Structure 1
């Protein structure tokens, strides 16, 4: 490994700014803010907007804004009928 070109790898605390969830990990990132961790040591604090605690993939709280697909929206917008759809029955 070439000397003097790699950043310092050290322990930092990441905090999810949405939920307040904190975790200790190794990183090359630095910060002026510090926080005291559960082990009594003080570590740099890095605020992140999203983590596994708030990301919909990990929480299972995914929001589906569009129930139909892109092809269905196109067909509705331009008035094309679905050839495979069952015909509507009028009573």
Structure 2
């Protein structure tokens, strides 16, 4: 393999904003936010909307998160109860 062509991986914490699930992994992404992890160290924080904790393929069920009352507005628009 050729030297100096691989990206600089560092440890970051991913936060699933739907479920609040957090996990530590390697990434090349940058973030201005940081979070203290379970080991006491600070790591960059990257927020994602879907992870294995919330994706229906991995969970086997749909987790519905009402973001800003969308479900209520939909039901009201179409007279659903």
Q: Distance in 1 between matches of 2:35 and 2:53?
A: 19
Inter-partner Cα distance in structure 2 for 1:10 and 1:51: 19
**5+ long unaligned stretches in structure 2:** 63-81
Q: What is the number of equivalent residue pairs in this alignment? A: 62
Q: Which runs of 4+ in 1 moved over 3 A?
A: 1-6
1:41 equivalenced with 2:41 (yes/no):
yes
Query: Could you say what the CA RMSD is over the residues aligned between the two structures, in angstroms?
Result: 1.4
TM-score normalized by the length of structure 2:
0.68
Give the TM-score normalised by structure 1.
0.61
CA offsets 1:14-68 (integer angstroms, 9 cap, x no match): 0001111000001111100000000000000000010011001111114xxxxxx
Gaps of 5+ in 1: 63-91
> Which of structures 1 and 2 has the bigger CA Rg?
1
Q: Which has the higher contact order (CA 8 A, sep 6+)?
A: 2
